[in-house]
Structure 1
Amino acid sequence: MPRSERSPLLLAGLLATAGITHFAAPRQYDETIPRALPGTPRAWTYASGAAELALAAGLALPRTRRVAALATAAFFVGVFPANVQMAVDWRHRPAPLKTAALARLPLQVPLVLWARGVARNAEGRS
């Protein structure tokens, strides 16, 4: 399988894994939901998990890959406030946890760029 074909499947696998964990261990995600959002944190946790699973499915299928990749890039931008909330809330936790929370913030940039690259490659193959 060419590298360009693996990249969207790896991204789909990352999203699918994250989506599943939103349902298997929701409490850790509930704590990252910004309090300013309406509704319950659990509803947002489940909604974001379902979105990740849908995006993963879209990335896995060549026919829907371009649109799913663009939606994935937007999703990664959209969940950034939850990562900021986590960094703020975890600032007094032990150093390894605080470091992990802070490391998530710049990680969004390569994820967005990865999703955009998948979209560009899908456009070139249509």
Structure 2
Amino acid sequence: MLTKRQNLLETIRGGKPDRFVNQYEAFAIMYDTPVTRQSPMPGYGKGPVKDAWGVTRHWPIGTPGAFPVHDEEHIVIKDVANWRKYVTVPRVEFPASEWESSIAAMEKIDRNEYFATLFYAPGIF
């Protein structure tokens, strides 16, 4: 039986996967990185949070997940012609010390079984 990673590669390459690929099963998704730490995830039923791009997200009770708050008060870009005035660009460079705990966690991922990646979805402006 192929590993989750091998099975996905077989599918991508037009090979012979031994089962259907189950969405994200081949990915070990890292959420604790310097990039993702800038943008807290909203908690279910908790208050809204603002990410590093300035997008306010909320996860209301009874909904399947967090969504950008898209009302007049929270829309990031109020005038698309002057978008630079409104958009906050997050940092993309971090000192090595801020990556240490993330690297330690990534090194524990079995690379024969999984692809290591991070997930970052800033939402709509």
Instruction: Return the structure number with greater strand share.
Output: 2
TM-score, L = length of structure 1: 0.28
Higher relative contact order (CA 8 A, sep 6+): 2
Q: Bigger radius of gyration, 1 or 2?
A: 2
Instruction: Return the structure number with greater helix share.
Output: 1
TM-score, L = length of structure 2: 0.28
